[in-house]
Structure formats: structure tokens, C-alpha cells
Amino acid sequence: MTGTKFGCGIGLCGACMILINGSPTRSCITPVSFAVGKRVTTIEAIGSTAAGKKVQAAWAALDVPQCGYCQSGQVMSAAALLAINSNPSDSDIDRAMVINICRCGTYPRIRNAIKRAASAGNKDA
């Protein structure tokens, strides 16, 4: 699998984000033993979850990525946020997404895309 990215390697940047039992987890500092018996989701499968699918659609619609390296991680954190909070405020988004950094500075589009994904979810409901 090539979707999950190796960034800093010391748990700072969030490019390596995966979900373990639905919680965003930095895979670069997580031993395999921690994941035994738990449900692991990577960027390859996030599109098959309801929240992940909406996040990816919003990401594509708003052309969020720039160089793209951090974006696998951003999508994972955004999907994890929307799975537990279907209508996040700006501060909810800030709190959830602070664990992912982006050197290109795509933060405004990330925030807009999360809101777009949230409103797409609320329309379905």
C-alpha cells in the first residue's frame, strides 16, 4: 500500500495518519502490537466509509491538495472527525485537524471541504 505517507517519523506531522478503531492514529510511532485485534483503516479504504466518501468527494470538488503529500493524513483526520461530529464548528475543525500539518498551506480549503462534506451529510439525513 502506498497511500499512507511517511513524513517526519516522530509523530509531529500527521502524514502517516490511519484509523485504529476509528481513532486517528499516527502509524509511524505506533507498534504493530498495539493494533493486534483492532480495526485498522487506511486511506485505501476510507472511501468505503460514509464519512470518508463525503470527505473525498468534497476534497475533489474544492481541489484541496496542492503538492498532496500530507493529504492522505488530512483526509483520515477529517473523516474521523465527521464520523463523530456531523456538523463541526470552526473550533471543532481546528481541534481535530491540528494534528495534521501542511507545508503548502491548504488549511482554508481543508476547512471549507470539511464543511462541504458535513453539509452533504446533513442533506442525506
Least distance between another protein and beta carbon 103 (Å): 3
Which residue is it, cell 493529504? Answer: 71
Choose one: 17-25, 33-41, 59-67, 76-84; the region binding another protein (CB under 8 A): 59-67
105 binds another protein (CB under 8 A): yes
β-pair partners for 26: 17
Q: H/E element holding 109? A: helix 107-124
Which residues, at least 6 apart from 42, have a Cβ–Cβ distance to it below 8 Å?
Answer: 1, 3, 4, 18, 19, 76
- The residue (of 26 and 109) whose beta carbon lies closer to another protein is 109
63 binds another protein (CB under 8 A): yes
107 binds another protein (CB under 8 A): no
Q: Which of 12, 29, 50, 67 binds another protein (CB under 8 A)?
A: 67
* CA 109/CA 69 separation, integer angstroms: 15
Number of residues that bind another protein (CB under 8 A): 8
